[in-house]
Structures are given as structure tokens and as C-alpha cells.
Chain A
Amino acid sequence: MRELHELLLRAARFEVRRRQGAFPHVADADADDLAWQSADDALMSILRRLNDFRGDSRFTTWACKFAIVEAGVKVRRHAWRGREIPLTPASWPVVADGAPGPDQHAEARDLLGALREEVERLTARQQEVFVAVALNGVPIDVLAERLCSSRGALYKTLHDVRRKLRAGLVARGLDIGEGNCR
């Protein structure tokens, strides 16, 4: 059990250090505390779900997954503590002036305008989730905590919203293709 906890602590520290790059204001002392909490919580989750391990991967990979996810959630929540969540589309993308051609500029503006109209047709809750997560880049775990929900439930909402928006654009004759962008 002690060895398992050590493994989880190493994985959690690894994840916290990685996330510190994105959230540099997380202090080192807090970071180690978060890693310990993550390792403890991961160990509890593993003990609860030990029967789920089917040997499809190495046990260490399976176990480290719990520590990585716990640590990631904790760092994101810690970094966003006390910060207001932007639920309004303040950062709506705008086509830059000085576009190469007026046709391209108009086409891009129309596409964004159509998307914005489709977003405005969503319910208030759907708009909140879409604007916060997709548009403003709020971590889904942070939003889930603020809205007393879960990552899975919010992602389901986001998934439904995206399907609706895509269908709305297609209905307007705007085909944005199937390529996936990270």
C-alpha cells in the first residue's frame, strides 16, 4: 500500500509540475500540498474501484491515471479559485481588418455572424456552458464545481450544443467541413 501511494505521489507531482506551466501563480508549497491530496484521493478511488481493473493495461498505468486526473482537477480548481468565470461572450472572435480580399472578409464575417445567431438561440444554460468552455477556455472541472455539476454532465451539454450549432450552420447552407481542430 505504501509503494502504491509513493507511485501515485510521483504521478501527481509530475502532473502538478506540468500544470504549473499553465498556471505559474500556483506556489510551490501549494503544489506539493495538491500533489499529496491528489495521491491520497487517487488511492481511495483505486481501492474503491480495484475490481474494475481487468489487466488490459499495466497496473501502474491504470493506477497513475487516477493520480493524473485528480491532480489535474485540483490544480485547475486551485488556479481558478477566487476568479470570476466569464459567462458572457466577451472574447467573441472578430475578423481582422485588412483582409486579403473583400469577398473573403465578408464570407468570414457572415460565418461568424451565423454562428453567433445560432448561439443566441440556445437556452441560457447551454449558452453559459458553450461560452465559458468553448469560447472563453474555462476548464470544464472549474465550471462544473461552480455550477454544482460534473465534468461528464457539462460535457454532455456542450456536445449537444455543438451538434445543434453545426446543424444550424448546415441548415443555413454553411458547410464548415469535418476536419478536427485542436
Chain B
Amino acid sequence: MTTHMPDDTYGIVRRLVGPVGPELSCDECFDLLDVYVELEERGGDADAAMPAMRAHLLGCPACRDDHDSLRALIELAAVGCAYFLACHLARQRARCRSRPRSFATRRLRYVRMPG
């Protein structure tokens, strides 16, 4: 038995009776999950693009867990990639600093027009 204050009652009942409006099924949610998560990752308005997906995630704890995990995984991968790239560039800059020609000059060699 869970005890709560009267102010919380509407919230609890709303959670129990779930979201309002059209909702995807679990299978449809699975099919679109990767697209939805990437849209979120890019900063797009995923909820506006797929309102029925958001409703389903609010109502289905298992699909919500899957969503949260996939999102966390690709964010971690993105952070990992950015960190790897930053380390790689820092190493490259450090190598270039030890040589007479600067990193910037060395990079410019590839964009300078011939002649």
C-alpha cells in the first residue's frame, strides 16, 4: 500500500490511466525508435515530428527504458567520438609545435592554390 498526499492524487491517477491521444504500439515504437532518438540527438523537435511516439513512451515503461538507454548509448558514443577527435587533434598540434613549421601553415599547404 502506498500513501500519498491529496495534492498528488491527480498525478497518480493520471499516471495510472496513462497518456491521452493517439499512441503507437510497442512494435511501431521499436521500428521508429532509432529515427526518433537520432532526431532528439540532433536537437530536432522529435515530439512534434512524432507525437504518437512521445505518448507511447509516457505510457509504456519498457519502451521508455529502451528509448532512454539507446539515447544514452548514442550520446556516449558521440561524446567518445568528440573526445577521441579532440585528443587526436591535440596530439597532432603537439607534434607540429615541435617542428619548425606551424600546424596552421602545415594545414594551409593542402588548400593553397598551385602557382
Q: List residues of chain A with CB under 8 Å of any chain B CB.
A: 11, 14-15, 18-19, 52, 56-58, 60-62, 64-65, 68-69, 72-73, 76, 90-96, 99-100, 104-105, 107-109, 111-112, 115, 133-135, 137, 139-141, 151-152, 155-156, 158-159, 162, 165-166, 169, 176-182
Given that A61-B34, A65-B30, A65-B34 are known contacts, is A104 also in contact with B6, CB under 8 Å in the complex? Answer: yes
In the complex, the chain A residue whose C-beta lies closest to that of B39 is: A57
A-B interface contact total, Cβ < 8 Å: 153
Q: Is the CB of A169 within 8 A of B17?
A: yes
- Complex Cα–Cα for A107 and B16 (A): 17
Closest Cβ of chain B: how far from A105's Cβ, in Å? 5
Cβ < 8 Å to A, chain B residues 1-44: 1-7, 9-21, 23, 25-27, 30-31, 33-35, 37-38
Contact A179 B14, beta carbon cutoff 8 Å: yes
Return chain A residues, CB-CB under 8 Å to B72. 14, 18
B60 in the interface (beta carbon within 8 A)? yes
Q: Is B70 on the interface with A (CB-CB < 8 A)? A: yes
A-B contact pairs, 12 of them (CB 8 A): A15-B73, A61-B37, A65-B66, A73-B62, A76-B62, A94-B1, A94-B4, A115-B16, A115-B17, A133-B61, A158-B59, A162-B59
Q: Kindly provide the distance from the CB of A123 to the nearest chain B CB, expressed in whole angstroms.
A: 17
- Given A14-B73, A72-B65, A96-B5, residue A156 in contact with residue B25 (CB < 8 A): yes
| Minimal beta-carbon separation of A67 from chain B (angstroms) | 9
Q: Is the interface of B mostly helix, strand, loop or mixed?
A: helix
Chain B positions within 8 Å of A52 at CB level = 31
Question: A35 to nearest B CB, angstroms?
Answer: 13
Q: Are B38 and A152 in contact (CB under 8 A)?
A: no
Whole-angstrom CA separation of A156 from B24 in the bound complex = 10
Interface size class of B (residues with CB under 8 A): 35 or more
Give the CA-CA distance A179 to B10 in the complex, in Å: 10
A31→B24 CA distance, assembly (Å) = 31
Nearest CB on B from A69, distance (A): 5
Chain A residues, Cβ within 8 Å of B64? 182
- In the complex, the answer to whether B14 meets A72 with C-beta atoms within 8 Å is no
**CB atoms of B66 and A68 under 8 A apart:** yes
Is residue B96 within 8 Å, beta carbon to beta carbon, of the partner chain? no
Taken together as a complex, chains A and B put the C-alpha atoms of A180 and B4 apart, in Å, by: 19
Residue from A58, A99, A159, A165 with most neighbouring chain B CB atoms (10 Å): A159
Contact A182 B58 (CB under 8 A): yes
Docked-complex contact B4 and A95, CB < 8 angstroms: yes
